[in-house]
Chain A
Amino acid sequence: AAGVIQSPRHLIKEKRETATLKCYPIPRHDTVYWYQQGPGQDPQFLISFYEKMQSDKGSIPDRFSAQQFSDYHSELNMSSLELGDSALYFCASSLQTNEQYFGPGTRLTVT
């Protein structure tokens, strides 16, 4: 079965640079979520989209923005990167249920 696809899998950026993470949900899933997992921490909710509209917002810095496109893929844009942004970023998708299916994650390292 098709799963959630995230790209890139690994990304290294310098401080103050920008990064764009991409997420392709499971086909026909209408909801996308973004989570951030720091070292030794649990995943923290950032933002979600339902039918291409922002649905909920968590602890997402103002330097970050995201959107969901007409083909349902989503992009997380991160600007003015800081060392503390180094983390695993997970995308998840769902179809009208509470059960979210996660992608493999993008490991962002800011140096």
Chain B
Amino acid sequence: DQQVKQNSPSLSVQEGRISILNCDYTNSMFDYFLWYKKYPAEGPTFLISISSIKDKNEDGRFTVFLNKSAKHLSLHIVPSQPGDSAVYFCAASVTGTASKLTFGTGTRLQVTL
């Protein structure tokens, strides 16, 4: 039962344009959401997060939007850079002590010149 889904396995965007990665979840208990970037043979790198009490969080080129009613979140990267090419995982958790992360299946982003 995949509680966190990323329906686009891959995305190709031109350098300088906006990349939009989407994520849907089914468990209404989730109240904290995170995006991770992962290169091959490396561990996931934390990018940005958002609590369910907010609908937007911004950090530099990265913005995460949360639509609780639709159980949907998205990561916007603008402008996209070639170094952004990686696999992006959406993750969700229920706030508490040592809360585990439930990951989506990942979206491979390729930023082309």
Contact = CB atoms under 8 A, between A and B. Distances in A.
Q: Do A and B come from one complex?
A: yes
Interface of A: 4, 6, 31, 33, 35, 41-45, 48-50, 55-56, 58, 90, 92, 94, 98-105, 107
B42 A49 contact: no
B83 interface: no
A58 to B, nearest CB: 6
B43 A98 contact: no
B95 interface: yes
Contacts of A105: 41-43
Contact of A4 (B41, B43, B93, B95): B43
The 3 closest A-B pairs by CB, nearest first: A55-B98, A102-B43, A42-B103
Contacts of A48: 98, 100
A45 B94 CA distance: 14
Contact of A98 (B95, B104, B105): B95
B57 interface: no
A59 to B, nearest CB: 11
B36 to A, nearest CB: 8
Nearest to A32: B98
A33 B45 contact: no
A101 B95 CA distance: 16
A48 B100 CA distance: 8
A93 B106 CA distance: 21
Contacts of B41: 104-105, 107
Contact of A104 (B36, B42, B97, B99): B42
Nearest to B2: A42
B98 A50 contact: yes
Contact of B44 (A6, A43, A56, A98): A43
Contact of A58 (B32, B100, B104): B100
Nearest to B9: A40
Contact of A45 (B32, B97, B100, B104): B100
Interface string B11-34: 000000000000000000000101
